[in-house]
Amino acid sequence: MRTKTPKLAGRILDAAARQFARQRFHEVRMDDIAAEAEVSKGTLYSYFRDKEELYLALLARGSEGMVRALEDAVVHADDARSKLVALIDAVLVYFDGEPHLFDLIQAVEVLQHQDQEFPWQAARDVAMRLVQEVFEDGRRRGDFVVRDAELTALLLFGGLRSVIRFGSRPRPRLLAKRIVDSVLDGAAI
């Protein structure tokens, strides 16, 4: 038996991402993923027990990438508002670079079993923590005050989800800044 390699696992996940981007979960066949990855079906099954495990691994990989992007975003910004703009921009850039991922996340929420951990939850938790830390940093520095950090973060991410799903493409210039300004300064101003 051949040793499993991260490179081959990545190739299989890339092929699966392309398949799931083109078709709904129930329409994707393991045969098609194997053919697109240029591996035998036996090799595919030695890496992933079934289609659901493959799907969840794809989401876990996406979640890890998002966490890295978010953590990198806040490192390079100086003040709280800039950190928030960098975080929002990181989310927009990440999903624009992985267009299939948004649909995968939504679809797996329907498939998820109660006893399984949702693979995207780590990215959600990190995003919420980072945004709430930025809100606290902004308050501490006197840059801005967010009365209810958790609710505001949820509203921010809910709005961002709509922008990703329904917003115009190509993305308008300085979109992340415009989103942050609308949230922090009020959309009615």
**pLDDT tens, residue by residue, 94-113:** 999 988 888 888 877 665 55
Six token digits for residue 48: 């992933």
pLDDT at 111: 59
Torsion of CA 67, 83, 147, 155, to 10 degrees: -50
Q: Provide the 8-state DSSP code for 27.
A: G
pLDDT at 149: 94
pLDDT at 70: 97
pLDDT < 50 regions, the chain = none
pLDDT at 115: 57
pLDDT at 163: 96
Task: List the Cα angle 162/164/165 in 5-degree steps.
Answer: 65
Question: Angle at which helices 30-37 and 51-75 pack, to 10 degrees?
Answer: 60
Structural domains of the chain ordered from first start: 1-48 (1.10.10.60), 59-185 (1.10.357.10)
Residue 45 identity: Y
Residue 188, burial from CB neighbour count under 10 angstroms (0-12, 13-18, 19+): exposed
Rounded CA-CA distance 97/102 in Å is 11
pTM (predicted TM-score): 0.87
pLDDT at 41: 95
pLDDT at 188: 60
